[in-house]
Chains A and B, each alone.
Chain A
Amino acid sequence: MLPLLVAALLGQANDAGTAAPPGAEWIGLPGEAMPPPPAPAEARPPPVSSLPLPPTIEEPLRGSSPSLIYRPETPNKVSLHGGAPLTPGRRAATVAMGFPMLGARAMMGVTPALDLGLSYETLYGLMHDARVVGRWMLWNDGGLYLGVVGDAGPAFFSRLPTNDFRGSRWLTGRRNVNASAGAVLSMQGASPRASRFFLTGRCMLSLDTQPVQTDPLGGTPPAVLITPNLVTEIGLEAPVSEWVALVFRVGMDVHGRADDSLVMVTGAAGVVTALP
C-alpha cells in the first residue's frame, strides 16, 4: 500500500508543478515522454472551417503518439467514505494504514443508491475484524450527500478473553460480533478534483459471546453481553485522478463498557481507488 501512496502523492505533486490550465492536460502512460507543450497562441494557424475538429476522448490527437489520449478532467466520483454511492456495477476499494488499526474495504454499487461490500480491519494482528458493509444514499443536493451506513461481522482476537487484560478488546471496545449503523454526511466542491469531506456517526453494538467475570465474585455476566459504543469519524477523500483518491481520516470511538477504555482515538491515511 505504501508504494501506492507514494506514487499517488508524487503524481499529485507533478500535477501541481506543471500548473496546466484546466482542460488542457495531457496524460502519458508510464515510460512515455511528456508531450510537447501546446504551441503559443499566436503561432497557431487561424481557425478555418476546413481544419479538424478539436480532439475528443475517443479520438487520438492527429500527429501524436497513438498511446496518448487527450481527456478533459472528469470529476472523481469514487467514494467509499462519504455518502455518495457508487454507480451500479462499479467496484471500488480502499486500504488505509493508521493507528491503532489498518484495514481495507471493497464495495460495489448494487443500485443507484445502494452499495454493498466487505471490510477488514486489524489491530496489527492482535485483532481481526471482518464485516459486511452497506451504504444507502438518502439524499443529495449538488455536492452534498447524506446516507446511512451499516456493517456487521465477527472479530477474531489473538488472545483469549481471559488473557486479554488491557488488550485489544479493552482498546477497541470490539468483541466477537460487532454491528454498527449510523449516518454519513459528505460534501464535495464543484471542481473535478475537489476534496470530499465526510463526517460519520455510528452506533456500534459489540456482542461479547465470551464474556468473562472481570472481578472475582463480581457476578456472572450474561451469556451474550451487548454493549453500545459510539463511533465517530471525520476526514477527506482527496482525488488525484478520476479513479484514485487519497483518504485521510481521524476519529474517536467512545466505549460504553465500563471495563473497556473510555475512548479510542483513531487516525489513518490511505487510498481509495476504483476497481476495473
Chain B
Amino acid sequence: MNASAQKLAFASISTVAESIRRKELSPVELVRASLDRIEALDSKLNSFYTLFRDDVLAAARDAEAEIARGHYRGPLHGIPIGIKDIYECGPTTCGSKSLKDYVAAEDCMAVRKLKQAGALIVGKNATYEFAYGFPTTKSYFKPARNPWNLAYDAGGSSSGSGSSVSAGLVYASMGSCTGGSIRWPAQCCGIVGLKATYGRVSRAGVYPLAWSLDHTGPLARTVKDATLMLQGCAGYDPADPASANVPVQDFSARLGQPIKAMRIGLMRSVYEDNCDPKILGPFNTALGEFERLGARIVDVPSITLTQMQAIEWPALFAETAAIHIDNVRHHGADYNPHAKLFVAYGLLISGACYLMAQRARAQVRDQLLEALAREVDVLILPTVGFPVSPVLDDSPGLSIVAEDFSVYTAIFNFTGFPAIQVPCGFDTDGLPVGLQIAGRPFDEATICQVAHAYEQVTPWHDKHPSL
C-alpha cells in the first residue's frame, strides 16, 4: 500500500471531513479506499462479517451529489464507518450460529441517526457471541484478530470494531458495552472507546445482553473523532425504555481547553493489589503526564475489584439468563460452549442475590456521585489489569467470573457514568495499554476534554499497526 493511501486510511474523521466539505475529497473515493483496504487486509483480521459493497457505494455517490449541491450535513457526511453486528442493520448475526441467517427488517435507531448525519455504513463488524461469548478458532464465527499482533485477540465484545478501526479499514465503528465491551477492545487495539452515560444513546434494536447495564457508543482513533460519532447518534428515543430525555451536549465543546487545576480522582483500591506491572507502568507514567498538564491527582476511596465483581457479574448474568434461556433451550447446540454455560450460571443466581447486587450498586453510585460533586472533577483507572490475550483455540469456560479477571470497566457500567478509554502506551510485548477517565452523568464533554488534553501531549494516537 502506498504512502498516500496509508495516510488517508489513518487520517482522522475531522481531517477527512474538512476535505470532503471543501469538495477536495470525494466520499466515493474514500469508500473505495476503505473497501480496497478491507479486501487487502481483512482476511487476516476477520473484523467484518458482512460488507455492504453496492449499498455503501450508492450511498457515497448520493453523498457526493448532495455535497456538490451545497447540502453538507456535517462532519460525518461521507465518512465510512462500521457497525457491530448486534445492531439491527441488514444481516445481523450477533456472532452466533443461531442467528446466521437473520436479516433485520429495518435499521435500529442509532444506525438511522448516523445515516441521517451522513455516515456511510461499510459493513457489520465481528462481535463476541451475543456480546459475551468469546469466540475461539473452533467457533462458527472466527475471532477478530488484533492488528498489533495477529496471534492475539482484539478484545471484546466489540472485537471487530476495535480491530477494523485500529487497522485503518474504517474511520470509526459503533460498539456496545455491558461490562467493558467498548473500552476493552479499544485498549487492546490501541484506540479510543467512548461509553456514553446510560441512556444517552438509544439501544432500541441493539440485541440486549443485560438491560440495566447495556450501553452503546463509538470506537475511533482520536478523542475528537469519538465525540463526532457520539454527536451523530446521541439523543432521546422513546423506543428504548432506558433512554434519557435530557439535552444533548456539544461533546467536543471543551476539546482544547486546559485541564490545569482540574482534580482527577484516582481509585487505587480497585487496581493496586491486582494490576499486572505491564499495565501499571504505562498507567503510572500517564498519571505523571496529567500532573505535568497541571491537573491534581487526588485519591478517592472506592471499592475493591472483588466488590466490583460481586456487583457486576450476578447482575449481568441473571439478566443475560433471563434474555437467553429460551434460545438456549432451543438452540443451545448452536452457542459457543461457554456462552451456553454463562446462561446456566445466570440461572443459579438467586433473586435475593440479584437485588443485593442492585442495592450495593446504588450505594457505590451514590458514593461516587458524592465524590464527583465535592472532591474531584473526573475519575481515572487503568482500563483493565491484564495484558492482551492470545486468540483462544479452546473454550475458556467460565474464566471471566474467576477472581483474577481484572476488568476495571464494569464499575462505570453499573453506575452508568460516562467513561472514555485512551491509549497510554505499550506493554513489553508491544501490545497496547490504556486508561479510562469517567465523570458525571451526562457530562461526556468533560471526560473528553481531559482525555483530549492527554492525547495531545502523548504520541500514542499517532502510532498505527503495520499490516
* B is a partner of A: no
Q: Which residues of B contact A (CB under 8 A)?
A: none
Which A residues lie at the B interface, using CB under 8 A? none
